[in-house]
A and B are shown apart, each in its own frame.
Chain A
Amino acid sequence: MAIGAQPLGPGGRAGVAAALAVPALIAVTAGAVLWQAGPGRGLSPADWSAVRFTLWQAAVSAVLSIGLAVPLARALARRRFRGRALLVTLLGAPFLLPTIVAVFGLVAVFGRSGALNAVLGWLGLPEVTIYGAHGVILAHVFYNLPLATRLILQGWAAIPAERFRLAATLGMDAAAVNRHLERPMLMRVVPGAALLVFVICTTSFAIALTLGGGPRATTVELAIYQALRFDFDLTRAAVLSLVQLAITGVAALLALRWVGETGIGAGLDRPVRRFDARGPGLRLLDGAVIMLATLFLVLPMVAVALRGLPAFIDLPASVWTALLRSLAVAAASTALVVAGVLAISLAVVRLGRRGHVLEGAALLAVAASPLVIGTGLFIIVHPFVDPGRLALPVTALVNAVMTMPFALRAVIPATQAAEAEFGRLADSVGLAGWTRLRLLVLPRISRPLGFAAGLAAALSMGDLGVIALFADPETATLPLQVYRLMGAYRMDDAAAAALLLLVVTLALFRAFDRGGRGHVEV
């Protein structure tokens, strides 16, 4: 059922251009940093151990996140219950939290004086500590389990209801359904999701350091920060960021080889009924998985909410103006992402197997150091215009570029499925161009596209690290305002602003995500 390469068309050509713009941006900015650089010290043994630690923790985090996401996604795919839609949205939330908010939420639950230790102490059990390599991994699983779950859940949603009906007619039990329907789907979805989580974890900085308990938990991004800020060793910063990119590039090539095309076939979009999952044992198992995951993911957010409530009504006016600014940035970058992701996924599908190169190119955006991109853009822009004036457009652009890979991973499989299943039919009736997009592709990818838009909007609300060099007092976004409040000793106000950020981010995500879902269940 694989489809071969097709003519690109104008949409496809735009997609190729958009995908190639990402490595171009990275290359140009890294080039600008190198060009500006004087002689540097080169990489030290400490830098190499930072590279090793970065790779190790990213790999462990990816394996654990995916390992936990599969049973969670399966449980959510098999069960229908009241509040499920809300739960699916809430489970998406950790990934959207600005790092500082996530860290404080986790600490409130797992920290030294957190809820977990209070319970353990009450039971007479020894204290546990979150600080150490396991804390870094815990935080990364907290962050990425929801993303992985959503990506895998979409794999499940792509299995047509008719298949499960057929499986039931054939008398298949859960194990047989797993073997014949679910495992092939997972083989297709898991490598891409795992790669994404791995890449996200490689650029971790504040989380790794704060929860890592000390300099053992030094990541490449911290080394880049030090090189750029304290040492002004631009060569070292650029080289470190290229090492990181090279590693990601190799990982991307390996993982995307495994990302196959859909082999599941088309259905009539009927609601899924799972005849195989009716046994009480399976119900209990799924219930327990959902319950535990919910506790793990939602408790830290509850902690953030409770901490922020007291000061919420007295939030300074500047926080609200920062919110408006963040919303403008989010709107711009969401529009960019939706246009980009549509064009790129069309190009990927039309290029057939070669199309994965495009996704790999766009994926580099996550692995690129935001610090190096920011510095490079600054060097390029500074001779011509006051960088402070470009703070918001640059933030919107870079946020869009860095969100693209997540959006692509969600949208590409659905686009492939639509073309694979209905492409020939469309060809035979001469459906092409805009009409084909509107009648065939868009309706079939509206769910993942809504999810992608939600991701883009929400991630742009967060701080992706580029703004710092460009920001001036008149252009503070909400996450920056949270940091400013903390820097002024105002921890209560900072907590309240963080709550505002959490609520708005979630609301944006939900609005887009629901809009895409329409009446269809995910």
Chain B
Amino acid sequence: MFDVFRAMYKIILPIRYLVKRRITYFAVISVCLCVFIVLVVMTVMAGLVDEFKQKNHQFAGDCVVGTKSLVGFAYYQEFVELLEKTDFVEAVSAAIKSHALISRMDSDRKTRVEIMGIDPAKHGRATGFGQSLHYHKDDVARAFEPGYEPNLPSCVLGIDLELQRDAGSTYTYQTNPSRIGYSISCLPLTAKGALAQAGTDMVDTKTFYYSDNSRTGLPRVDGSLVYLPFEQAQQLCMAGSVKRANAIYVKFKPYVRLEEGCAKVASLWESFRQKKSGEEQAYLLETVTVQSWKGYRRESIAPMEQEQTVMSVMFGFVAITTVFIVMVVFYMIISHKSKDIGILKSVGVSNFDVIELFSGFAFLVGLAGSGLGLLGGWVFLVEINQIEKWLFERFGFQLWDRTIYAIGDIPNRVELKVVVAILLSAIVACLVGALVPSWQAARQRPAAILQVNQL
């Protein structure tokens, strides 16, 4: 029966080999370096991806009922009311989404932006909108009331539209928002998707005053999104007698699982859609989908996840390299130890015992290497932000240029499951690397080893 602890010498000898043979140190150092690199990069990458997902979740709530069409869909109020009556929904917020041109009143330069019309109180409950604000963080319902003149029509700008991020990833805010007007122009669409005719009562350009900034940490959002009051955005973008919206953001009660909640919303939507099938603008409901925040933000998240997958594949190659290094080192160790194998066999040790002996040795190499690598990696991660700060102050080097990337501190939270996975992988890599040399060593004829130049 396979049992590493079947005999005491299988514990004593591997420990002595580990401590006394200098060549073993190379195997330990190889494993240590690989584990160090894998732990550091996996932690940072996983941290960045998790942080990015978290920001996307904050931005989109739990579930989004929406359409990509700029025309939007009708009867949204009824569906919002329906959702609000359910026992699994915490908050709901309808939104208008469209594209627009924006220019400061004191400038002729026009910039393309996305606009989102929301009810700030509702949107703050359904998403992390409130937390993204600077001046109205604690009073999100009044996000569109600038401190200098609350009754002015106002907007909340994505932070990168208004402020510059410095190298420390921080923005310099004024104590109160300045009175700056922005002219926002939009092309209002009819329910049929046509441009509303000029000269009608539709408003397509309006001035909004800067009320606050929104900092979601999502570069595309912060660099191009302007929040407007819901009704005013609706007037800007949607022509027609039946009111329309582009999306409904839903937040579930805390105990509701994401998939379960989304399935319930999808089921409700399907019933609602069928009920409305005879209505005048029912055709607009056909383009509406129900998605979890992950699905809704898939286009943003997927590249990050893909990068993480690529990194994992690369680390797969690192692991294979480790196996080969360990294999080479073990071939060298075992070729040095062939005499020991002969001696052990002469005192009754079996082939299988020899494999177990060297597997025990490989286990110790893996354990020592990964232990040192994990310890080193952990210490490095604890200090990674200090190290980066020091490098920046001394040499102007930053891992990610904060004026370009919307990253705060480098994520350095070490996950226990990652540690365990790396430790086990390193040990398995060592065992795999040692298997072939051990097997070959076990097959050696003791007489051939011990019979030195004699026949």
Q: Tell me whether A and B are bound partners.
A: no
